[in-house]
Amino acid sequence: MKAHSILISCGLISINLLSIFPLINPNHVAANTMLPPAQSKSLVSGVKWQGTSFPIEVFQGYTSLFGYRDSVEGGSKKEFHLGLDIRSPRGSYIRSWKNGKVLRVFQDPACGISLQIESNDWIHQYCHLEGGVEERNGERFLVDRVGGLEFQEGQSVEAGTRIGRVGMSGRTTGPHLHWGLMYQGQWVDPGVVLREMYIQQSNGVLPLQHM
C-alpha cells in the first residue's frame, strides 16, 4: 500500500506519516461525516497546536492510512479506514492528544476497549486498548489494573496524560493504536494534523518538544 511518507521529527522521536478507526464499506460512508481534504488542511493550518501530545510513547511506525484501502479480508473489496493506525509494542503507554474530558468508554467488536476524549470542537478516539470497561453505580470506567490506570466518563485529562496501553482488543492483527479525530462531528485525517504540528515546530512557531 502506498503511504504518505513524510518524515516527522517530534523532539525525541522521529516518525513517518500514516492513519485510523473501524473499517467500513465505502458505500456506507456519508459525505457529511468526513471533512474534505482541502478543508482539513485549511482547518489545521489555521490553528496553533500548542499543548498537544503525540499519542504514543513507543513509536514503531504506521500500518494503515486514513481513506480507502484493500479489505483486510482479501479479494477486491475496498474498505474505508477512518483514522491512523500507529504500531507500538503491546503494553506500551498511550497519551492524550489534547486537554479535555472523557466523553465515553466502551467496548465493541471493531475498536475493542476504547476511550473517547472531548476537547471543545474535537473528539479524539483511542481503540484496541488493554484492560476492560466496568460499571459502578451507573458510572462507566476504563480500568487497566496492570497498567495502573483508571478513567471515569466525565473525568478531566490533560494533554500528555497516560490514558491507556496498546493492546489487541477488537478487530486487529497486531498490537497498535487506532487513533481517530473528529472536528464538529466530521472525521479528519490525523496525518494532516500531525504534519501541521511538525511544520509549526520546525518553523519555530512552536517550541520543539517531546510529543
Size of the chain, expressed as the number of residues it contains = 211
**Greatest CA separation for the chain:** 50
Residue 211 within any structural domain of the chain: no
16 within a domain of the structure (yes/no): yes
Instruction: Give the span between the Cα atoms of 68 and 64, in whole angstroms.
Output: 10
Tens of pLDDT along 17-36? 333 333 333 333 444 576 66
pLDDT of residue 11: 32
pLDDT tens readout for residues 75-100: 667 776 678 899 999 999 999 999 99
| Domain assignment present for 15 | yes
pLDDT at 8: 34
The answer as to whether 208 is a domain residue is no
210 occurs within a structural domain = no
Name the residue with higher pLDDT: 41 or 171: 171
- Decide if pLDDT at 118 tops 80: yes
| Residue 1 within any structural domain of the chain | no
Distance CA 89, CA 57 (A): 10
Strand partners, 56: 94
Number of domains in the chain: 1
Asked whether residue 119 is assigned to any structural domain, the reply reads yes
Q: What CATH number does the domain containing 125 carry?
A: 2.70.70.10
The alpha-helical segments, DSSP class H, found in the chain are 37-45, 190-202
Residue 31's domain comprises 7-202
Number of H helices, E strands in the chain: 2, 18
39-43's contacts with Cβ under 8 Å and 24+ in sequence apart are 40/188, 40/189, 40/192, 41/192, 43/183, 43/188
Give residue 50's Cα distance to chain centre. Answer: 18
Q: Is 122 contained in some domain? A: yes
- Mean of the per-residue pLDDT values of the chain: 79
